[in-house]
């Protein structure tokens, strides 16, 4: 049964979730391949209205801090079960201080591996809270709202990760005194959409890997979307499957749809305006929608230069292709997971459907994005980067 944390007349001291969801980043440190505990906590926090950006496990302190800054979260939560927690948490605190982001809190937990004596030392280093084994979900949720439910946003342009992250937060929070984005840069904007499970996130990550290898100085921005309702929280989990996109030259922001239908967030358009501004300085901006259905036409913005529809071989019967509206407006179609059974048939059917709609000029690519240096991804990237 769901526990409610909205105060009642009999419970006025219970912390209240603020108007906009509290955003937290959670992750598991290097040398730790277990995430069952943190994913359980994530799920309960989401049920209580938090937006959780989850990085997955085996993450370095540098990756965590970079991500926390780009996501402009209220706090970073670390789940540590393999020892070494005192040194790891201390390094995270020091990296945040070095980046000038002492405002981003740090909390964590670790079952039986973190002792009460360790907690005393960790708090001396600046850790806000450590939840030991046996702590109830109610206590965790109430304490996190108490600690991080009053986030402040400082606006200082968008030329750094910190500044851009805070500006995007101001847009999402509908800050009244936020400025408007400046002149559009020459950055190319590519939008990726398609059904859930098609491999959009993996395709983008492999795209980024190849782009960085070809041009180590390229600066890439990514807006990645995950679903959430208006009254509930959301799990923003694309970072957990992105490896190469977590790089100093890549700015990755996770966005929740917050009740908006169609695959994007109510704040996407304005956030994208900032991403493509001269001040942000990106060479390429990639936008990924949530998994969309047959009726979805998410890319109505003039800021999207190229629209890519990503499918997998198991889209169903041939009749299903006739219902996908994006096939008529896409600039490119990708049949990903080309190693799956039925991929050859799927490619032929997609090409036939494109031709039947009089859209012969739309190129169709096959990719296996889970494979490094996949030639299908290389061809796609080369074709669309012109």
CATH number at residue 94: 3.40.50.280
Position 121 scores a pLDDT of 97
Position 386 scores a pLDDT of 61
Please indicate, yes or no, if residue 30 is contained in any of the structural domains. yes
Do residues 285 and 373 both lie within one domain?
Answer: yes
Q: What is the CATH number of the domain that holds 325?
A: 3.40.50.300
Tell me the whole-structure pTM to 2 decimals: 0.92
Do residues 211 and 276 both lie within one domain?
Answer: yes
- d(CA 154, CA 139) in angstroms, rounded, equals 30
Do residues 317 and 220 both lie within one domain?
Answer: yes
Please provide the DSSP assignment of 68-105 as one string.
HHHHT-SEEEEE--SS-HHHHHHHHHHHHHHTT-TTSE
**The domain boundary residue, chosen from 116, 133, 148:** 148
Do residues 109 and 225 both lie within one domain?
Answer: no
Please indicate, yes or no, if residue 158 is contained in any of the structural domains. no
Please indicate, yes or no, if residue 154 is contained in any of the structural domains. no
Do residues 195 and 336 both lie within one domain?
Answer: yes
- d(CA 314, CA 331) in angstroms, rounded, equals 22
**The domain boundary residue, chosen from 93, 127, 148:** 148
Q: Name the residue range of residue 238's domain.
A: 188-384
**The domain boundary residue, chosen from 100, 117, 148:** 148
Please indicate, yes or no, if residue 161 is contained in any of the structural domains. no
* Average confidence (pLDDT) per 10 residues, the chain, 386 residues: 33 73 94 82 94 94 98 97 92 98 95 90 98 92 96 92 97 94 95 94 97 96 91 90 95 94 93 97 97 83 94 81 84 94 90 83 94 94 87
CB 95 within 8 A of CB 46: no
Bridging pattern class, strands 234-236 and 250-256: unpaired
Do residues 197 and 122 both lie within one domain?
Answer: no
Do residues 53 and 142 both lie within one domain?
Answer: yes
Do residues 251 and 379 both lie within one domain?
Answer: yes
Please indicate, yes or no, if residue 316 is contained in any of the structural domains. yes
Do residues 272 and 338 both lie within one domain?
Answer: yes
List Cβ<8 Å contacts ≥24 apart for 294-297.
Answer: 294/320, 294/323, 294/324, 294/325, 295/325, 296/193, 296/262, 296/263, 296/325, 296/326, 297/262, 297/325, 297/326, 297/329
Do residues 209 and 308 both lie within one domain?
Answer: yes
Do residues 254 and 377 both lie within one domain?
Answer: yes
Q: How many domains does the chain divide into? A: 2
């Amino acid at each position: 049964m769901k526990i409610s944390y909205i105060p009642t007349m009999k419970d006025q001291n219970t912390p209240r979730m603020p108007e906009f969801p509290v955003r937290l980043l959670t992750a598991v440190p290097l040398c730790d391949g277990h995430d069952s505990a943190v994913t359980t906590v994530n799920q309960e926090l989401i049920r209580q209205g938090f937006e959780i950006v989850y990085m997955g496990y085996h993450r370095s302190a540098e990756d965590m801090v970079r991500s926390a800054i780009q996501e402009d979260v209220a706090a970073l939560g670390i789940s540590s079960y393999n020892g070494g927690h005192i040194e790891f948490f201390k390094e995270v605190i020091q990296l945040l201080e070095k980046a000038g982001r002492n405002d981003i809190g740090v909390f964590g937990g670790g079952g039986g591996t973190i002792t009460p004596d360790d907690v005393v030392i960790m708090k001396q280093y600046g850790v806000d809270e450590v939840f030991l084994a046996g702590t109830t979900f109610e206590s965790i949720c109430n304490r996190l709202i108490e600690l991080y439910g009053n986030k402040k946003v400082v606006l200082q342009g968008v030329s750094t990760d910190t500044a851009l992250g805070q500006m995007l937060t101001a847009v999402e929070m509908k800050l009244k005194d936020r400025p408007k984005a400046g002149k559009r840069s020459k950055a190319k904007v590519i939008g990726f959409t398609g059904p859930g499970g098609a491999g959009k996130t993996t395709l983008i990550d492999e795209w980024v890997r190849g782009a960085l290898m070809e041009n180590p100085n390229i600066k890439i921005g990514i807006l990645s979307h995950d679903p959430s309702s208006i009254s509930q929280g959301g799990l923003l989990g694309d970072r957990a499957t992105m490896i190469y996109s977590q790089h100093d030259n890549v700015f990755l922001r996770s966005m929740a749809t917050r009740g908006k239908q169609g695959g994007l967030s109510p704040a996407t358009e304005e956030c994208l305006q900032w991403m493509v501004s001269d001040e942000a300085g990106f060479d390429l901006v990639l936008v990924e929608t949530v998994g969309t259905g047959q009726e979805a036409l998410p890319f109505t913005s003039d800021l999207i230069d190229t629209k890519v529809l990503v499918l997998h071989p198991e889209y169903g019967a041939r009749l299903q292709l006739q219902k996908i509206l994006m096939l008529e407006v896409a600039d490119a179609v990708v049949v990903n997971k080309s190693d799956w059974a039925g991929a050859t048939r799927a490619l032929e059917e997609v090409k036939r459907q494109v031709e039947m709609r009089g859209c012969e000029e739309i190129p169709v690519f096959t990719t296996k994005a889970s494979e490094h240096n996949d030639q299908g991804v290389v061809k796609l990237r080369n074709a669309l980067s012109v």
